[in-house]
């Protein structure tokens, strides 16, 4: 994600998860990634700045192994790495912003990773939780049973296959387990019933 959108998503809805869980996962992922950079399994590069604001004309260069050991604080505002650990410029659990004193003014900005290296290092390219579909809650068995009992008698006699499809259509906002349909119709054929 683009840096400002990532910060907004983390501080706002946190992709539908608990904020501290998401922040912890991000910090853990950064540690694993930089372990791989430090062990030279993954190549990373960025602009190395000598000033805090990064207003100098820094050239792009490879992040060396010893630098990956020390520069592990993810600067979410510059897509960069600063000296230390954690994620900078995000609020803590009490919703106060942590204003950590920067130990060194030197830092990397616009850090890029060579993605093909990730697989060799046993890592995966990340995907935004926002891109994943939210999982549906499983329908309570009693609700499905009440729906089944309210069906006309000829529909109750349909195969498990058709009842499963009908249940999914009737309760599209829920997950309908096949096991529930089997429990409601013991001994019945699972597949479509043949027409005679």
Asked if the structure places residue 41 within a domain, the reply is yes
pLDDT of residue 131: 57
Domain check: are 81 and 98 in the same one?
yes
Q: What percent of the chain has pLDDT over 90?
A: 33
Q: Indicate the pLDDT class of residue 196, thresholds 50, 70 and 90.
A: very low
Structure tokens at 135: 């999982």
Domain check: are 10 and 95 in the same one?
yes
Asked if the structure places residue 99 within a domain, the reply is yes
Pick from 19, 1, 18: nearest CA to 130: 1
Domain check: are 47 and 62 in the same one?
yes
Spatial separation of the C-alpha atoms in residues 11 and 81, rounded to whole Å: 20
Domain check: are 110 and 148 in the same one?
no
pLDDT: is 71 or 172 the higher one?
Answer: 71
Asked if the structure places residue 196 within a domain, the reply is no
- The per-residue pLDDT for range 79-90, each reduced to its tens digit, is 889 999 888 877
Asked if the structure places residue 190 within a domain, the reply is no
Position 134 pLDDT exceeds 70: no
Q: Indicate the pLDDT class of residue 135, thresholds 50, 70 and 90.
A: low
Position 130 pLDDT exceeds 70: no
Spatial separation of the C-alpha atoms in residues 45 and 64, rounded to whole Å: 9
pTM for the structure as a whole: 0.59
- The per-residue pLDDT for range 29-47, each reduced to its tens digit, is 899 999 999 999 999 999 9
Domain check: are 161 and 74 in the same one?
no
Spatial separation of the C-alpha atoms in residues 101 and 91, rounded to whole Å: 15
Domain check: are 111 and 175 in the same one?
no
**165-185 CB burial, b ≥16 within 10 A, e <16:** ebbeeeeeebebeeebbeebb
Asked if the structure places residue 71 within a domain, the reply is yes
Rounded to the nearest integer, the mean pLDDT of the chain is 82
Q: For 179-182, which contacts have Cβ atoms below 8 Å and span 24 or more sequence positions?
A: 180/139, 180/141, 180/144, 180/145, 181/144
Domain check: are 117 and 163 in the same one?
no
Count of structural domains within the chain: 2
Question: What is the chain's percent helix, strand, coil content, to nearest 5?
Answer: 40, 20, 40
Which domain covers residue 67, as residue numbers? 3-131
Structure tokens at 78: 């510059």
Position 1 pLDDT exceeds 80: no
Domain check: are 115 and 146 in the same one?
no
Spatial separation of the C-alpha atoms in residues 182 and 191, rounded to whole Å: 12
Asked if the structure places residue 65 within a domain, the reply is yes
């Amino acid at each position: 994600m683009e840096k400002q959108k990532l910060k907004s998503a983390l501080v706002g809805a946190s992709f539908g998860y608990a904020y501290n869980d998401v922040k912890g996962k991000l910090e853990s992922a950064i540690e694993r990634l930089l372990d791989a950079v430090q062990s030279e399994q993954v190549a990373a590069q960025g602009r190395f700045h000598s000033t805090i604001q990064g207003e100098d004309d820094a050239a792009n260069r490879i992040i060396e192994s010893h630098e990956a050991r020390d520069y592990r604080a993810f600067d979410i505002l510059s897509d960069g790495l600063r000296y230390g650990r954690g994620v900078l410029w995000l609020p803590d659990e009490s919703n106060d912003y942590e204003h950590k004193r920067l130990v060194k003014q030197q830092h990397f900005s616009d850090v890029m990773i060579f993605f093909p290296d990730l697989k060799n290092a046993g890592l995966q390219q990340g995907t935004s939780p926002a891109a994943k579909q939210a999982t549906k809650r499983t329908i309570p068995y009693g609700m499905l049973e009440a729906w089944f009992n309210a069906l006309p008698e000829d529909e109750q006699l349909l195969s498990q296959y058709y009842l499963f499809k009908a249940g999914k259509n009737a309760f599209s906002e829920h997950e309908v387990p096949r096991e529930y349909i089997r429990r409601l119709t013991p001994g019945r054929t699972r597949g479509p019933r043949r027409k005679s």
